[in-house]
Amino acid sequence: MKKIKLAIIGCGAVAEVFHIPTLQRMPEFEIVALVDANEERAKELKNKYSLNCETFSDYKKVLSKDIDAVFILTPPKFHSQIAIECAEAGKHIFCEKPMETSLEKAKDMVEASEKAGVKLMVGLNFRFIPQFKKVHELIEKGFLGHLIGASSTFFTNASVWPSKSKFQYSREGGGALFEMGCHHMDLIRWYLGDIRNVFGNIKTLNKDITIDDTANVYMEFKNGAAANLAVVWGDLSINEIRVYGDGGFIYANGSKNEVLFTPKGVVAQAPIRIKADKKISAYHEEFRHFFECIMEDRTPVVNGTEGYKTLESTLAAYESYEKGIFVEVTKK
Ligand SMILES: NC(=O)c1ccc[n+]([C@@H]2O[C@H](COP(=O)([O-])OP(=O)(O)OC[C@H]3O[C@@H](n4cnc5c(N)ncnc54)[C@H](O)[C@@H]3O)[C@@H](O)[C@H]2O)c1
């Protein structure tokens, strides 16, 4: 089997905890370079995982190398610059979420990848969590009938995440909604379609940080459905979503293997428990999908346009809160 030769750009927490150990075990990939602005960090991870690869402090060094793809795992404000140069050098791109910090930069990434004819996949990996993937499958099969709405709750403890740069606590790259809420915003969009407008209520309740840790977002969709999203950085860990239509109701829990379906008309009866496919991990599934898209010339399920739309909806929620009004996301 042909392996995809790749460079990892950004050797921080997510590279160490998820990407390198997952990619290293996959026969589909060969890590040939680790890049970090702090090259000592790249060397540290090379040694930790006993990788036979080069290390660099400047991503430009990999542009001329025999490398098929790059994984961009830096804080978001560096994503577009690196992605555009890598696309121009003919490398396929896997870029972590949030796609960028502005829509203009995200659009430039999409255009550069299209012009160069390379794949651009955004790391909104909740679409690969089996329970959430199952919800999408059931919706596509018509279990819910005409979609009416969704409600999601996503609470995490950001303070335990071992980020090297702590970028998530800065205006440029963070905030609970921007950094974590984008995962659920993306899921809701995947289930219900394009968002017409949003209303955001975005607060900082923890006195030790200056960016948002609590966000409630109300969304109206082009198809008439409505949804709300609650995101909190605190001590609790909750990762749940409910989607309903005129044919039934689905509850999925991203932390437990739990997908419950209640068909229309069922009263006082336990919901039907549906098994989600147990795979190795959502990251493994996500990276496998990226590999298949490259090898089979397919469009990634979270391509640049999808990443752009999720960013657009997320930023619109912040704008809504600043202005105190609904903000239109999609005019068409
Ligand atoms: N999908 C997920 O489950 C998930 C989980 C955690 C983080 N993330 C995303 O991954 C990205 C990285 O997060 P993290 O927590 O690992 O951050 P981090 O701060 O721990 O690491 C970022 C690394 O990038 C390096 N870096 C910064 N600028 C660079 C540049 N121009 N060139 C090369 N290296 C550079 C830094 O030195 C640092 O080592 C973010 O976009 C974050 O939102 C995704």
pLDDT number for residue 277: 74
Ligand 1 centroid to Cα of residue 175, in Å, is: 15
On whether both 180 and 86 belong to a single domain, the answer is: no
User: Around Cβ 46, how many Cβ atoms within 10 Å?
Assistant: 19
On whether both 66 and 140 belong to a single domain, the answer is: no
Confidence of residue 202 (pLDDT cuts 50, 70, 90): very high
On whether both 34 and 179 belong to a single domain, the answer is: no
Domain hosting residue 56, numbered range: 4-124+284-303
How high does pLDDT run on average in the chain? 95
Encoded amino acid at 7, one letter: A
Confidence of residue 221 (pLDDT cuts 50, 70, 90): very high
User: Is the distance from the beta carbon of residue 123 to the nearest atom of ligand 1 less than 6 Å?
Assistant: yes
Residues found in the chain: 332
On whether both 165 and 212 belong to a single domain, the answer is: yes
pLDDT digits over 66-119, tens only? 999 999 999 999 999 999 999 999 999 999 999 999 999 999 999 999 999 999
How many Å apart are CA 225 and CA 77, to the nearest integer? 33
pLDDT score of 268 more than 70: no
Split into its structural domains, the chain has a count of 2
On whether both 97 and 173 belong to a single domain, the answer is: no
On whether both 274 and 292 belong to a single domain, the answer is: no
User: Is the distance from the beta carbon of residue 35 to the nearest atom of ligand 1 less than 6 Å?
Assistant: yes
pLDDT number for residue 152: 98
On whether both 143 and 53 belong to a single domain, the answer is: no
Mean pLDDT of 149-176: 90
pLDDT number for residue 184: 98
On whether both 188 and 274 belong to a single domain, the answer is: yes
On whether both 254 and 294 belong to a single domain, the answer is: no
User: Is the distance from the beta carbon of residue 44 to the nearest atom of ligand 1 less than 6 Å?
Assistant: no
On whether both 250 and 294 belong to a single domain, the answer is: no
pLDDT number for residue 256: 87
On whether both 90 and 130 belong to a single domain, the answer is: no
On whether both 140 and 107 belong to a single domain, the answer is: no
Full strand arrangement of the beta sheet holding 69-72? 54-56, 29-35, 4-9, 69-72, 92-96, 120-123
Atom of ligand 1 nearest to the CA of 163: 20
User: Is the distance from the beta carbon of residue 248 to the nearest atom of ligand 1 less than 6 Å?
Assistant: no
Q: Is 226 helix (H, G, I), strand (E, B) or coil?
A: strand
pLDDT score of 280 more than 90: no
Return the CATH number at 24.
3.40.50.720
